[in-house]
Chains A and B, each alone.
Chain A
Amino acid sequence: MAKQNVNIESALLRAPSSYTMHWRGNDVLFTDNIMDFAPFDRPRQFDATAVFLCVSGSMECKVDLDTYVLKKNSLLMIFPGQLVSVISNNGAKGYATLMSSAFVNHIKLEHMKRTNFDVHIGIKPMCQVNTAEMEAYKRIYTLACKVLPQSAEEAPHVAMGLARAFYAMVISSMKAHAGAAATVAENSTPNHRQIFNRFIDLLAENHAEHHSITFYAKEMSLSLKYLSLVVKECSGRTVQDWVNQYVMLLAKSLLANSQMSIKQITDTLHFQNQSTFGKYFKKHAGIGPKDYRNAFRTVTTTEK
């Protein structure tokens, strides 16, 4: 089940007509059919950053544990590692974009180092854009579909530029409308912010498998002490807090949204055995996994 993640390769299989941009491989995918890679059959984990822009109609999406209703001029951003499903769809029309983590990291490191904004778990990922902004997004999609195929040899560069502009537009919209305060402390140095961002990216990719903070320090070739210091400075939270947040979010999402047994979830999250997982979960959620799942099911069934 976890194998069927949403990334550009799998999206292409489902929507071969959407427009892909190659930079160093399959890096960006633009489509004017918002449903192209929206997971409507069951919850799927995203391996890439996704943006949904709704032009008309509406759809209801579940991202991890939260539900969002996309209507006209809604922008929803999905981050790698999040579990997404479409609960209902009322003729939603619009655009969607997928960007590989490698590509987003490249933009962040090369071009947006000074931008004091880092989007990841913990901020509200949806906002309402105004009509003018939607007009600008439409133009980007027009350019992606009209200009790119014509410029042959230069296409990867044209793609790179358009995708860069698109990403910066999304960040601008999020800053303006989501009220998403920078999650990173203003006074941290650019160098430290860069380390912090790398840590979060690494965590988003590896939290299912690695829960030990030494793994992350080692992977980044930093001493544990230094990494802790930087993360604390940038976010006011410890490395272990961040790891726990990601692990717990995935555990809760799987319990709430999937049919996986607790044994399977234990394995997916790489806990030694069900009992260790149970203890860990209870410690952080206050209730055991089974109770959590039951509580969640009861709530959703009564809602219906």
Chain B
Amino acid sequence: MNPRWLSIDDMQRKPRPDILTLGNQVAVSARLSLLGLLSKPTYIEGTAVFVCLGGTIEGTINNQPYRIEKNTVLIVFSGDLVKIDRTADLEGYGAMMSNDFLDELDISFAQRAAFFANMRANSLSHVGDEVIEQFRPFYHLVLQILRSDASEKEEIVKGLVYAYCHRIFALGRSQASSGKKLMLTRNQEIFHNFITLVVKHSSQEHSVAFYAQEMGLSPKYLSYAVKTFSQRGALDWINEHVMLQARFMLRSTDMTVKEIAFALNFPTQSAFGKFFRQKQGVGPKEYRYNS
């Protein structure tokens, strides 16, 4: 059986009373009903966070078996293959955010990548009761806002998700510092070094070859290692960071499109325009005007 893709769009098209959505950007469920959608092998199109308050879940992520119990936070990244086999007496919350929504939040790329690296090796995280107590009001508040008719609903949810994501980052960091570093695989190490270099050089260097050379690896091997570890190609990560900078400059500075094109080391404004339109769906000028 071929795995299918699951996006928030799909949930919107087939609404369920127990899953609340904000456009095709965020979906939240109070009873982990999101998990019910994953009984067949499914690729996740977005990032999902599940907080288990009680009961058990058994299943596989990227064909690795896992078991979730009380006080577990499970994070599934875009492109992960998830399947749930059994659940019992389940209690908890689930949330899923689209990739576009997360991009728009302007969470620092370095932070996202570092978090990704920390959680990748071990997407399950056992946390204390006090941490669960902190997550609870977030979910109640987001659910309440999604049900309400507040005129600034989207901005409220964005603020809350932004705060929530950073609280989870703190979790990822404590995970990383609790001795799990020993389990650093070669691919993980390569990924980590690669991301550090991307953050530093991506405004000037957009080719995988440059980073491979900096790291003393062949481009092919670098691509392979990054793809194996993160399910995303090296070029995707570079492009994402370039886009992040482009969007930021368009939205928050007075620089002209031409100046931005040169700041990001594109040979011409037209090359930058094409790149931007390909990734964003709209051209730079239009993007600036609409935001």
Contact = CB atoms under 8 A, between A and B. Distances in A.
B164 interface: yes
Interface stretch (B55-63, B142-150, B189-197, B279-287): B142-150
Contacts of A175: 151-152
A140 B141 CA distance: 8
Interface residues of B, number: 37
Contacts of B144: 132, 135-136, 139
Among B156, B161, B289: residue with most chain A CB under 10 A = B156
B138 interface: yes
B133 A146 contact: yes
Nearest to A190: B289
Interface in A129-144: 132-133, 135-136, 139-140, 142-143
B158 A143 contact: no
A146 B155 contact: no
A15 B282 CA distance: 49
B291 A113 contact: yes
B134 interface: yes
Nearest to A174: B151
A173 to B, nearest CB: 8
A241 interface: no
A51 to B, nearest CB: 14
B94 to A, nearest CB: 19
Given A147-B134, A161-B162, A169-B152, A154 B167 contact: yes
A171 interface: yes
B251 to A, nearest CB: 7
A157 B166 contact: yes
A171 B251 CA distance: 22
A84 B71 CA distance: 47
B141 A157 contact: no
Nearest to A162: B163
A127 to B, nearest CB: 13
A166 B163 CA distance: 11
A169 B137 contact: no
Nearest to A142: B137
Contacts of B16: none
A172 B152 contact: yes
Interface in A88-131: 109-113, 115
> Which of A153, A157, A175 has its CB near the most chain B CB atoms (within 10 A)?
A157
Contact of B156 (A113, A146, A147, A169): A169
Contacts of B140: 139
A167 B162 CA distance: 14
A152 interface: yes
B170 A151 contact: yes
B159 A166 contact: yes
A168 B170 contact: no
29 contacts: A109-B252, A111-B159, A112-B155, A113-B291, A139-B137, A139-B140, A139-B144, A143-B134, A143-B141, A143-B163, A146-B134, A150-B131, A153-B173, A157-B163, A157-B166, A158-B166, A161-B161, A161-B165, A164-B155, A164-B162, A166-B159, A168-B152, A168-B156, A169-B145, A169-B150, A172-B152, A172-B156, A176-B151, A190-B289
Interface of A: 109-113, 115, 132-133, 135-136, 139-140, 142-143, 146-147, 150-154, 157-169, 171-173, 175-176, 190
Given A168-B150, A190-B289, 12 more contacts: A132-B144, A140-B141, A143-B138, A147-B167, A157-B163, A157-B166, A158-B167, A160-B163, A162-B163, A169-B145, A169-B156, A175-B152
Interface of B: 107, 130-131, 133-134, 137-138, 140-141, 144-145, 148-153, 155-167, 169-170, 173, 251-252, 289, 291
